[in-house]
Amino acid sequence: MNKRARRSTRPTRRIIYTEDQDEEVGSRQPKQPTKPLKPIPKKTVDTVDSSSLSGLEDSPSGSLAGEPDACLLEESLDLPLRIINTAGRAHSVSYHTSHLPQDRHLLTSRDPPSSSLQASLLAWFDLVKGNREMPWRKEVVGIANWTEQQKGQRAYEVWVSEIMLQQTQVETVKSYYLRWMTRFPTIFDLAKADVEQVNECWQGLGYYSRASRLLSGAKKVVERFAGVLPEDPLVMEKEVDGIGPYSAGAIASIAYAKQVAMVDGNVHRVLSRITALYAPQAAKATTKFLWSIAAALVPQNRPGDFNQALMELGATICKPREANCTSCPLSKWCRAYQEKQVLCVLEGGQQTHPSRLKRRVVDDEDIEDVCNLCQPLESLRASSGASSSDGHVLIYPMAKERKKPALREVAVSLVIWKESAPEDQMESSLENTPLSTGQAKALLIKRPEKGLLAGLWEFPSIDLAESNDSTADERQKKIERLLGKTVVGFTTAISSRTEGVSDGSKYQIQRSPVQLPDIEHVFSHLRVTYKSSVLLIHSPTPPTLQNPSLPDRPAASGQAIWSPCNDILTANLGNPHKKVWNAWLTHSDLSPSSIPSSSKPRKRKSSALNDPHA
């Protein structure tokens, strides 16, 4: 006897339908009730794994094979009807799985029956997989006969695509994927690259830490595994940077045809609806449960296609705000859709059920082992949206609690050096002067390799206190302390308003009168306001830097560089700093005739970002 604490719902009133008997129009004969509904299964399921789909009481097996007849369809809705009319939609754990295929040979058969869930989904996928023309999606034939190198190349392609697709839309990724594979066609090409080259190719895609992890992971795979990603997903997770359970499952199933699951946001939503799971999405128990369901459903035959089909279903049919259930190949196995059918009838919506329903009320029995994953749904009937096509289905998965992004302020200083002769350093400024190569350069500092905008360049910046009430003087003092550690002679020049000295050359500093507007940039968890100011430096040559980036090696965090102003929009800067630069061009009197207006990366033979002496 399981000794864990059991919860029990209080007895409630529930509605059970009876089927009308056939009768002639106008007949007054009383209807004969059907047999009472079966009690809710009470089998205890403490931990959920692939075996939990076996041995649970189920609706009649005939309702899951082929097209069900009217009677079997009614019987398949018995349990959803009972659950809907129980207070808070209380139910046992088995409610989530008892309607799913339970014949384990379906998952190991090389040719599962055409009526199975797996075959239905794969048949649908075969019809639609080419609709969105994804360059990383390829027809794979005879993978068992592939060489290790062929498998390794396919694994690399899948790896790149899956990392790019994290938190990024498919249409956005397409061009970046093609550009990446042109620049780094094999994992060996990527392993030879440095972070500057990788970030340049990734520029504009966001979440730059993904690119740096791809690079470090590629170097490790080439060094330890001869350039071929391990086939075991657990080894991939443990040994390769940037590969977690989802990426490992994708690579193993798609590239190596391993019978393993993968659960991304789309699959999470599809499985939540198939099982009618109303649980906090980020909870560990929820994640564990859905991964166990996914693992139990993956067939031995075409596991990669099956996993991709689940993702495609979530992206095109079972979407967050729209569920096209009538076109879904899995609606027959979907608990949420079954609940929707019941609610549609009870609320008087269009009746696709084969017989009319009559209500009668009885006392409900106590439910032992109430599901401890789901949250109660007290207003299920009222919010079902029965009048809409598939409104009820959209309540799954449980909505995430939206948190307001944290607020942060960042002080930014555009430090621009302008070439000038000693005799007229302070008689000229950048105003009304084209910023052509050799005339003006901007100071950039390399960001840390981890964290926000990891490994990118930025204008000198300081994170401010979260109070968001800093003054211009406070921001200026903090920036000047940073610049004092970055530019030789800066502290003396700015504090005494005298000339700074760098390698024997004198320079002078001028605060620009241009007032730049605040720039707001929203990250996934932060709303950052960039407070900008401008300092102009005049001298025959750029002042020496305390910690310059060296030309013969990749720049390290904290290193600085003087970059030609022409290269700013194509440099490896984060988008917030490009916004600051564009604001400077817009609000100053500069002539931008020689500055690229497009922020799209372009090929360059050389870049100041790789040459601190340019």
Q: 415 φ, ψ to 5°?
A: -105, 110
Nearest-angstrom CA–CA distance, 576 and 597 = 16
| Residue 495 identity | S
Nearest-angstrom CA–CA distance, 95 and 296 = 16
Structure tokens at 481: 């302390």
Structure tokens at 524: 């996934």
Structure tokens at 343: 């609610």
Interhelix angle 265-274/303-316, rounded to 10 degrees, is 80
b/e sequence 408-417, b meaning 16+ C-beta within 10 Å: bbbbbbbbbb
Nearest-angstrom CA–CA distance, 142 and 123 = 19
Of 479, 575, 463, give the one whose Cα is nearest residue 519. Answer: 575
For the CA atoms of the chain, what is the radius of gyration?
32
Structure tokens at 319: 């979407």
> What are the DSSP calls for 365-429, one per residue?
PP-SSB-SSSPP-TTTTTTS-TTSSSGGGGGPSPPP-PPPPEEEEEEEEEEEEEE--GGGTTT--
> What are the DSSP calls for 186-221, one per residue?
SHHHHHT--HHHHHHHHTTS--THHHHHHHHHHHHH
Residues with a catalytic annotation lie at 162
Task: List Cβ neighbours of 540 (8 Å cut-off, separation of 6 or more).
Answer: 419, 420, 421, 422, 505
Tokens 């102009």 -> residue: 536
Task: List Cβ neighbours of 307 (8 Å cut-off, separation of 6 or more).
Answer: 249, 250, 253, 254, 261, 262, 267, 298
- Distance of alpha carbon 65 from the chain centroid: 35
- Coil, helix or strand at residue 92: strand
- CB-based contact 439:490 (threshold 8 Å): no
> What are the DSSP calls for 507-554, one per residue?
EEEEE----PPPEEEE-SSEEEEEEEEEEEEEESSPPPBSSBPPTTSP
b/e sequence 499-522, b meaning 16+ C-beta within 10 Å: bbbbeebbbbbbebebebeebebe
Q: Distances in Å between the alpha carbon of 16 and those of 33, 150, 231?
A: 10, 59, 52
Pairing between β-strand 560-564 and β-strand 500-502 as defined by DSSP bridges: unpaired
Tokens 């500057």 -> residue: 196
